[in-house]
């Protein structure tokens, strides 16, 4: 390894909230790697990972579920499920607001059939967090879990 090759690495350590902090050396830093590690208190923390940037998880969708493993960054599946459900809830809330407008338009145009469809879809959306089971055992499959009620159109 060349003298300054360590500056192309990233350093991962556990953050105070149990997640992972990524620290990147500044290319213009004049000191040694050991001095930089000391300056950033990584040596005091004990366990940290020295990784090539390519070794970081490529998908940042579950960034808050990253955990520091022995040799790599791992993704906590239960934390990732909660992140995914929260994102789905945000989408659901936006869709409910859109359907409120559709309900008013249906009511004003006296379209009972459309109003009934809006009401049924809103009921499905409200039940979504409880009715939608995330039956996956890996993060790759989790990202593709999507309730049909979020994509249903009138």
Q: pLDDT at position 1, please?
A: 47
Question: Which of 56, 75, 94 delimits the end of a domain?
Answer: 75
Report pLDDT for 4: 66
Please check whether residues 9 and 68 belong to one and the same domain. Answer: yes
Cα→Cα distances 112→4, 48, 103, 118, 130, Å: 71, 62, 10, 10, 28
Using a 10 angstrom Cβ sphere, with 0-12 exposed, 13-18 middle and 19 or more buried, the burial of residue 131 is exposed
Q: Residue 5 has what pLDDT?
A: 80
Give pLDDT, residue 134: 83
Domain boundary among 19, 51, 75: 75
Residue pointed to by tokens 């360590």: 6
Q: Are residues 96 and 113 in the same domain?
A: yes
Kindly give the confidence (pLDDT) of every residue in the chain, 154 residues in length, as a single tens digit, with 9 standing for 90 and above: 445 688 888 999 988 888 899 999 988 888 899 899 888 888 777 789 999 999 999 889 999 999 999 999 999 999 999 999 999 999 999 999 999 999 999 888 988 899 999 999 999 999 887 777 788 899 989 988 889 888 887 6
Query: Per-residue b/e over 58-97, b at no fewer than 16 CB within 10 Å?
Result: eeeebebbbebeeeebebbbebbbebbbeebeeebeebee
Q: pTM of the full predicted structure?
A: 0.80
| Percentage of the residues of the chain whose pLDDT score is greater than 70 | 97
Domain ends where: 75, 95, 129? 75
Boundaries of domain holding 97: 77-150
The number of C-alpha atoms within 13 Å of 92 and in the hemisphere containing its C-beta is 21
Q: Count of domains in the chain?
A: 2
Same-domain check for residues 63 and 86: no
């Amino acid at each position: 390894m060349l003298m300054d090759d360590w500056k192309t690495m990233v350093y991962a350590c556990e953050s105070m909230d149990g997640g992972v902090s990524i620290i990147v050396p500044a290319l213009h830093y004049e000191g040694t790697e050991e001095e930089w590690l000391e300056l950033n208190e990584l040596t005091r923390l004990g366990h940290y990972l020295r990784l090539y940037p390519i070794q970081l998880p490529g998908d940042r969708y579950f960034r808050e579920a990253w955990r520091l493993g022995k040799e790599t960054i791992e993704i906590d599946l239960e934390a990732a499920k909660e992140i995914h459900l929260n994102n789905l809830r945000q989408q659901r809330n936006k869709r409910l607001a859109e359907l409120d407008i559709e309900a008013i338009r249906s009511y004003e145009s006296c379209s009972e059939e459309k109003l009934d469809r809006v009401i049924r879809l809103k009921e499905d959306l409200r039940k979504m967090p409880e009715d939608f089971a995330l039956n996956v055992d890996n993060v790759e499959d989790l990202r593709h879990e999507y309730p049909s009620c979020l994509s249903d159109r009138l």
